[in-house]
Amino acid sequence: MSILAFIEQRNGQVRPVSREVLGEATRLAEKLGGPVVGVCVAASDPGLAGLGEAGATRVLLAKHEAFAQYDAAGYARAVVAAVEAVKPAVLLFGATAIGKDLAPRVAARLGVGLANDCTALSAEGGKLIATRPVFAGKANLKLAFPRIPAIASLRPRAFAAVTRNGSAAAVEPLAFAYDAQASRARVTRLAASAGGKADLTESEVIVSGGRGLKGPENFKVIEELAEALGATVGASRAVVDAGWRPHSDQVGQTGKTVSPKLYVAVGISGAIQHLAGMSSSRCIVAINKDPEAPIFKVADYGLVGDLFEVVPALTKAVKELNEKSG
């Protein structure tokens, strides 16, 4: 039986998380058997043949001009049509804003279970087992699926992509019925966030600031370090609630869940709701003047000190290193 991977595109570009989803589908296929098939819903082909290198043997393309923007009902119909055509054992999504909206719709239409925002997948006895953090990241839940397809959405940056040199995926049109009436409530325009900055969930490096910054004007210190590191700026809820940063910057239980290679938490105490959004980061650096701050319990490296001294010194050191390495 095959493994079906939802290939997410935005503005005609395949999103990086789709390669991670294909990577995990490829690893699962080695244990569960069957080919890895992609399904993409788009207004035009965003270069799907190239996904052969990411592990797809073929990709079904559900094409319609209305799919220039996300269309929940239309996308769900198309993905269900792909499930009916492929009859996969497993269907995987990226746990992005679109993936988290679409996966439950598809699961409901198919009458099967869904594990959202998974951080690990495994195969036991020929069946999928999904692991997802619960209780704001305090525990991990392992889920089995009584029916197929087992559906899971994968936390962006928690799974590695694969590279299959030289192979191209076969791109095939997917037959499905577009229902304009069902799709009458759809996204018509996406506004880019200020400064066109990278999506936090896809960033390799994040520098987040908290209430320790004392005021919005001091986020300059965070922005300068972020620029030197090539990072995206994040924030705690305290500063978002105070109106210092937009909600799109918020990391945590009621904000974004991120898994960058490096997460630098500056002037953030490390409340459980903040940790829920960043504790799966690969390396965590905490800068806080309180040695008892809970953030140090999850940090790989901790710096106890006044951020207004420590961060500019760190930025200077990173800039010098950047200059030396050209």
Ligand X SMILES: Cc1cc2nc3c(=O)[nH]c(=O)nc-3n(C[C@H](O)[C@H](O)[C@H](O)COP(=O)(O)OP(=O)(O)OC[C@H]3O[C@@H](n4cnc5c(N)ncnc54)[C@H](O)[C@@H]3O)c2cc1C
Q: Which residues bind ligand X (CB under 6 A)?
A: 210-212, 236-239, 250-255, 267-269, 271, 273-274, 277, 288-290, 293, 306-308
Residue 135 CB, nearest approach to ligand X (Å):
13
Report the alpha-carbon distance of residue 190 to residue 9 in Å, rounded.
Answer: 13
Number of other CB atoms surrounding residue 239 within 10 Å: 25
Residue 311 CB, nearest approach to ligand X (Å):
9
Residue 224 CB, nearest approach to ligand X (Å):
16
For strand 120-124 and strand 301-304, is the pairing parallel, antiparallel, or unpaired?
unpaired
Report the alpha-carbon distance of residue 29 to residue 3 in Å, rounded.
Answer: 7
Report the alpha-carbon distance of residue 96 to residue 3 in Å, rounded.
Answer: 19
Q: Is the C-alpha dihedral spanning 124, 127, 133, 134 positive or negative?
A: negative
Q: Which amino acid is at 31?
A: K
Instruction: Report the Cα–Cα distance between both ends of the chain, in Å, rounded.
Output: 50
Question: Closest Cα partner for 315 from 206, 224, 230?
Answer: 224
**Six token digits for residue 227:** 């620029």
Question: What are the phi and psi torsion angles at 324 (to 5°)?
Answer: -65, -40
Nearer to ligand X, 78 or 287 (CB): 287
Residue 317 CB, nearest approach to ligand X (Å):
18
Nearer to ligand X, 88 or 277 (CB): 277
Residue 312 CB, nearest approach to ligand X (Å):
12
Name the closest residue to ligand X (Cβ): 252
Residue 212 CB, nearest approach to ligand X (Å):
3
